Amino acid sequence: MHPAPPPNAARASLTGLMGLAFVACLWAPARADEVSVAVAANFIAPMQQIVAAFERESGHQVTLSSGATGKFYAQITHGAPFHVLLAADDTTPQRLEQEGRAVAGSRFTYAVGRLVLWSAQPGYVDAGGQVLRTGDFAHLAVANPKLAPYGLAAQQTLEKLGVADRLKPRWVMGENIAQTYQFVATGNAPLGFVALSQVMEKGRIARGSAWQVPADMHDPIRQDAVLLNKGQGHAAATALLAYLRSENARAVIRSYGYAF
Amino acid sequence: MQLSAEDWSAIGLTLRLAALTTALLLVLCTPLAWWLAHTRSRWRGPIAAVVALPLVLPPTVLGFYLLVLMGPAGPLGTLTQSLGLGTLPFTFGGLVVGSVAYSLPFAVQPLQRAFESLGARPLEVAATLGAGPVDRFITVVLPLARPGFITAGILSFAHTVGEFGVVLMLGGNIPGVTRVVSVQIYDHVEAMEYAQAHWLAGGMVAFSFIVLLALQWWQPERPRP
């Protein structure tokens, strides 16, 4: 059996060692900054790709939270710790700017969304969208127009086609575009209005059948980004927003079916 | 009062859903709870665990998998389609099925505990006095297990009224069919209509409080030591 070291000396040296370790942690070399981003549900896939490239080039870390723009507005209004908001519309960032919760002049359109009428079944949706007039489907999936810009665009498209009243009883509404896509992808709704970015893979629509709604059928789905108050003066956040406008980022955004 | 016609429709729908779910649960779970309380089969453990699953599964997970199972490609959906019923998502019936699954443990467990606490003695005594099994159940078990039934009923009702995740995944937010109060409140908040959200939420809390309070008075007096 080893003789125990004198208790006081052991305790003193252990405390000294821990203290040194603690100070060493505080004295760490300047780390790259971490940016906290709230991103609209429909844009999460391209954003992950853009962020991967940004992190490699700049050395900064980015954490993404994906969700509904309306929810982000409520959270940001109540102090959520985001630096940057990538919304699904242009009204929410504008509202945040007007209410003084975002940095004035930092707002810009990072993408223009494209609407598509999609079905998981190949051959169900024709290239002209005539299925809306002739089809016998029980359910049409649409994002809630009150909450989601893609839902509002879908409603405008149906009104322009003159089929809105006839089809309204068959709507099933998703809370956001991601849920709308789930309804169609699981086959519960034979067809629905989703974001082109959700069904586009490597530049083409990989599954099912679709009608790409012409841009003049609805108000443009402008998706704006803005620097929030918590991100003011945050070098990495500003760098990320600048990177979003770069040609590299735009190439990625374009490949997911967005316009500018 | 700032409640619109849509809000009232959501309230009525929620109460109908909760009432129907509670009635179905009490009918379905009484035999199940009885079996769990008295059986010595080796299936007791696994079945009790399956019954308790909705307690630990996040409601949106439960709702999503119900959406898949009840959809045209899923086993339940194929069954309902072959019976000529179409598919269950986006219907009131689909919500009832989802709510029954979601609130199952809240009905089974209080009933099971109530049946277990009876013990075998009152039933043996009744049998020696010549009562048949059905008679024993109705005249001995039901009155003695009444607190268990009341608890199971209250919990199932309240749990269904508060249900959100499952309805969100299965419902499709159809006014008058699947747009229940929890989804309506959520929509108001998302659309930044906070005043309406407050009225609806406040009304539901007040209503629930009054119902729960009233049911407390209904409980039989517990014997004082």
Beta-sheet strand order (sheet of A191-195): A171-174, A140-143, A191-195, A115-119, A209-212
Cβ separation of B67 and A182 shorter than 8 Å? yes
Q: With 0-12 CB in 10 A as exposed, 13-18 as middle and 19+ as buried, what is B131?
A: middle
In this structure, the answer to whether residues A108 and A229 fall within a common structural domain is yes
Residue B62, phi then psi, degrees to nearest 5:
-60, -45
Geometric angle at alpha carbon A192, from A187 and A196, rounded to 5° = 110
Domain shared by A200 and A241, yes or no: no
Residue B223 lies in a domain: no
Asked if A160 and A178 sit in the same domain, the reply is: yes
pLDDT at A29: 44
Return the residue matching tokens 């309204």.
Answer: A168
Cα-only R_g, chain B: 20
Tens-digit pLDDT profile for residues B89-120: 999 999 999 999 999 999 999 999 999 999 88
Interface probe, candidates B76, B90, B186, B194, chain A, greatest A C-beta count within 10 A = B90
pLDDT surpassing 50 at residue A28: no
Calculate the alpha carbon distances from B132 to A172, B36, B127 in Å.
52, 21, 7
- Chain B residues in contact with A70 by the CB 8 A cut-off are 189-192
**Residue B131 belongs to what domain range?**
5-218
CATH of the domain at B194: 1.10.3720.10
Contact B174 A174 (CB under 8 A): no
Range of the domain at A191: 115-212
B174 has a chain A CB within 8 A of its CB: yes
A51-74 mean pLDDT: 91
**Same domain, yes or no: A205 and A236:** no
Q: How would DSSP label each residue in A83-118?
A: SEEE-SSSHHHHHHHHTTSB-TT--EEEEEE-EEEE
Task: State the average pLDDT for chain A.
Answer: 88
pLDDT at residue B51, rounded to an integer: 94
How high is the ipTM of this complex?
Answer: 0.74
Q: Cβ A188–B87 below 8 Å, yes or no?
A: yes
The verdict on a CB contact (< 8 Å) between A186 and B67 is: yes
CATH of the domain at A171: 3.40.190.10
d(CA A44, CA B216): 49
> Does residue A202 come out as left (phi exceeding 0), alpha (psi in the -120 to 50 range) or beta?
left
Least confident interval from A21-30, A239-248, B145-154, B165-174: A21-30
- Domain tally, chain B: 1
B43: phi then psi, degrees, rounded to nearest 5 = -85, -5
> Shortest CB distance from A173 goes to which of B67, B87, B172?
B172
pLDDT over threshold 90, residue B209: no
Co-location of A158 and A177 in the same domain: yes
Domain count of the fold of chain A = 2
Residue range A158-190, pLDDT digits in tens: 999 999 999 999 999 998 888 899 999 999 999
CB pairs under 8 A between A and B: 62
Q: What is the pLDDT of residues B9-48, one digit of tens each?
A: 999 999 999 999 999 999 999 999 999 999 999 999 999 9
At B125-175, the pLDDT tens digits run 988 988 888 888 888 899 999 989 998 998 999 899 989 989 988 888 888
Q: Which residues of B touch A68 (CB under 8 A)?
A: 190
CB contact under 8 A, B190 and A71: yes
User: A41-45 long-range contacts, Cβ below 8 Å, gap at least 24?
Assistant: A41/A66, A41/A67, A41/A68, A41/A88, A41/A176, A41/A177, A41/A178, A42/A88, A42/A113, A42/A150, A42/A177, A42/A178, A42/A195, A42/A197, A42/A198, A43/A86, A43/A88, A43/A111, A43/A197, A43/A223, A45/A197, A45/A198, A45/A256
Q: What percent of chain A has pLDDT over 70?
A: 88
